[in-house]
Chain A
């Protein structure tokens, strides 16, 4: 089954060190390669009309500069081309391997997208391979599972990406755009009404405000703030476990105050670090314990909310508090269960806090819903056993893979246990490698980073349509063309906030205006 669109994704397998791969599949591969790969451009004689691609050998690696524009080199790497049907998907496939970290890969992906590809959905390469008869029939189930788990992961990542201010702003914009479209569509479909929707002052105010707000949001995304967040990792645990010391170790600076007094940290401390170009946001929190001190109480409240929104949690314990034999991977029974009950308590408190604040501020109800959704989710925790230097412990890392049900619903999943010393730095490398893997991504499981990229692609495409729509409105008074641009803008935003159908629009028109004879 031939598809006519071209898909692209960052296809670097988890944990692969410095090399990233962008995979592209579909009919536009050749022209994309042509525009991106410097070797192909210099090799092409200007006169030949079909000859350029003969320079791109099939199935063999060619070293090239990757171009962001004719003048700008994004990175240097290897290009591979597989032509239909002899490729993984059965379509033309292009692979760009670059050395840069995640940010560079993202630039490369953007470039590919700007050349006519769209972002692949999770599992879509494999889906195409299957539909094109490249995989065996018996694999249908596996392919379905991949599509399914991939889209579930993408949905979760999308929810995470949309937390906080970004989400509020995108939703507000969608609403503004919808309101503007109501005026446009009402003007086109109900010209006999007594109001001239297009000339109405209100519509022009709306248009101006939408334009301004959109520009502001885009400015923010262009500065890369949204992408910089990356994976959010919260460091939590009891007081004095060494949370702040770990933060300092990972950032390489004495950012947080460290003392041997329990309850040193009060406020949330956010630090951004890069692990091989992968952005990670670390949050140091107040140690969790019952406290009478109102300042510490507030700190703990903030810690609780942070844990709830984390992509993952590093739970720190002092290894010397437990009877742990050094040469085995065994964790004393009771330790995990103990953490589980503390996390359950955190969640319970958190729900209380959210309900409280929601009942105080009605308008934040959507956020509450979103947090409610997150509730059924699994909280992923790595156990960090700190202060190995104090006993006769060696640093190490092993899998836990333990799922414990939380009292409050959902699951707590322990993934890894890492033994390290925040003070000497022993074992830190293991932790870093592990985090990097977690911040990495593959074709099938979406992470927040990819979700953000999707959102930004959608925003940018919406912005482009909007600008065209506004200039239609201004220059020519062709409202039906402006309406088409606004429809496309809404379609693009719909990827983030859900579809607004023509029926929804009509419903809003009838609800808002007295229309009809």
Chain B
């Protein structure tokens, strides 16, 4: 049947990409339909229920700054929350939470159900309807056709998904869910480059069968970090403790002796897995000299005894899994509740996408999440948000928006994907960001919330909170400029005593802040209730929130570096944004080498900046493109003028 209502945006898939996509599209006012296999699995975490981590925490804050759900869901579900890299500088600090799987899912479901303009429907999609080079809707496996101006596909690991446990393999989207076979076949007929990737997961263990008495425990941080810019510690549920154990020589022997039954080494698995997330068999083989590997024992939730043993993902046969698990300290009597497995699935070469995440070949069709070659909830959610936003904007004839590399990790993620492609599951790391010092968790709101407001993604509550924080930060900054501490002041003596500073002359507060030894919070604390010799009291310096103090402090400490990064950005910006038209004919650019030309054809960049970032591109090649473009535009200019006068 043809479903009677017409939608602006259809989102296929209710994972992390799909839910953010649907929410973003609906938030900016598009009439949106979310189609997924199963309403019960909306927002499901396929693997470890943990959100954030280095690079990923950054993504979560950015999603949150744009009004997304992930940060708030992680606050509502976080049962063990830490700041990683806490002793290093602000740019590399990252929030990570172990989440209660059920609480997380429930929060996302509630967000979806309470979002105006959003309709949920449980059905597996079998086909896309395409007219000419434009998508017009989807058809489900039971034959219902939905029509819409745009479609966002977020099918995760489900496309032609194949699960391996030892030599046995079955078709599935993840354990317990069917794979999307029909849809995968249809997509293979379309003009996209398709490849296979693989990922894996460890066996789950019943926590009641674990002996914790000899295990190192790892509590969460106190005070607890918070993900959402709107969140508070009160949002957090009860907190629990994680533990750490290790594999040993015996574990490794068991694994080594079973390698002939591993689909990874027998050639059964063709897809490439993530290098930073190797299976335990991979680690044992590649780092044969290591006698032990660490395992984090992470609870799956408050109401379940299941735990996730982080560090032993595997596709070995079940009997081997049981054997090696029981060889590990604390796991001697472990009961495995679910076997570990590896999964292979289709993904599409992301170089076939624009930065908006619209496919280059089919208008109105957007791809987001794992199907673009990424891995991870945060990576998926980030893409979902952008794809949903742009799908909605397209229905209103608005220009697409995607953050630049210097604005957000989301920009780095998308730009890396579309200019470099990937041949392994892509995960975010801070080292991928050349503007790492600029792209911090703490300032994600300053980088993105104003954009989000303009795009319609950010509601009044968030906007007001943002403006208040901004105002406070600039008030504090100017107050620090205005105040002095002078020899003879009591504060002067206190500071000298406190930090061992050799303050030999009077200083502005803002100067003090630049010194590595001086911490702003402490400075403000010392200044409270002080009055200087010339009767200035420092009362304007009190009452600022932690977030504001942190913000002002980081900006001061990083000032020199940030200035340089900003100069770098400004210098190349204009040139980077020069568009390369879709019809650009590379064979007509004089002087391009065949190798460079082929690279450009493989990627078909949308602008000069993207072209320059294709690996192996040379400055001379970029010059040649610019010269050609100039000639082309000048030749074309009269034609445009004519068209303008004719209409």
Contacts and interface: CB of A to CB of B under 8 A. Distances in A.
A443 B420 CA distance: 33
Nearest to A190: B54
A480 B630 contact: no
Contacts of A137: 631, 634-635
B338 interface: no
B294 interface: yes
B574 A145 contact: no
Q: Chain A's interface: helix, strand, loop or mixed, by majority?
A: helix
B275 A516 contact: yes
B627 A143 contact: yes
Contact of A479 (B88, B293, B313): B88
B4 interface: no
Interface stretch (B138-146, B314-322, B364-372, B428-436): B428-436
Contacts of B290: 514
A515 B295 CA distance: 12
Interface in B418-461: 420, 429-432, 434, 436-437
Residue with the greatest number of chain A CB neighbours at <10 A, chosen from B274, B276, B286, B634: B276
Contacts of B615: 501
B267 interface: no
Contacts of B561: 481, 484
Interface stretch (A88-96, A102-110, A404-412, A503-511): A503-511
Nearest to A137: B634
Contact of A3 (B55, B436, B574): B574
A510 B620 contact: no
A478 B561 CA distance: 12
Interface in A429-463: none
Interface string A114-132: 0000000101100100110
A507 B310 CA distance: 22
Contact of B627 (A147, A150, A476, A510): A147
A514 B623 CA distance: 42
Given A190-B54, A505-B431, A516-B278, A148 B591 contact: yes
A189 B574 contact: no
Nearest to A498: B616
A31 to B, nearest CB: 15
A476 B619 CA distance: 37
A194 interface: yes
Contacts of B563: none
Interface in B601-642: 615, 618-620, 623-624, 626-628, 630-631, 634-635
A332 interface: no
A515 B434 contact: no
A25 to B, nearest CB: 15
B156 interface: no
A188 B431 contact: yes
B84 A475 contact: no
A487 interface: yes
B283 interface: yes
Contacts of B85: 188, 191
A219 to B, nearest CB: 27
Interface in B562-594: 570-571, 574-575, 578, 589-591
Contacts of A123: 623
A159 B22 CA distance: 54
Interface string B271-289: 0001111100001001100
Q: Which one of B55, B89, B91, B578 has the greatest number of beta carbons of chain A within 10 Å?
A: B89
B634 A478 contact: no
Interface string A1-23: 11111000000000000000000
Contact of B624 (A148, A192, A487, A517): A148
A188 B575 contact: no
B294 to A, nearest CB: 6
A487 B433 CA distance: 11
Contacts of A505: 431
Nearest to B615: A501
A517 B311 contact: yes
Contacts of A145: 590-591
B591 A188 contact: no
Interface string A188-215: 1111111000000000000000000000
Contact of A4 (B570, B578, B634): B570
B516 A484 contact: no
Nearest to B429: A189
B183 interface: no
Given A4-B574, A189-B431, A480 B591 contact: no
Contacts of A193: 294
B631 A140 contact: yes
Nearest to B278: A516
Interface in B110-129: none
Interface in A230-259: none
A4 B576 CA distance: 12
A480 B431 contact: no
B74 interface: no
B159 interface: no
A188 B287 contact: no
A140 B420 CA distance: 30
A144 B621 CA distance: 10
12 contacts: A4-B570, A130-B627, A137-B634, A144-B590, A144-B591, A145-B591, A148-B624, A151-B620, A189-B429, A191-B85, A510-B275, A514-B286
Interface of B: 54-55, 84-85, 88-89, 91-92, 274-278, 283, 286-287, 290, 293-296, 310-311, 313, 420, 429-432, 434, 436-437, 516, 558, 561, 570-571, 574-575, 578, 589-591, 615, 618-620, 623-624, 626-628, 630-631, 634-635
Q: Which 4 A-B pairs have the closest CB atoms?
A: A151-B620, A148-B591, A514-B287, A144-B590
Given A185-B431, A506-B276, 8 more contacts: A188-B85, A189-B431, A191-B54, A191-B84, A480-B436, A480-B437, A502-B431, A516-B283
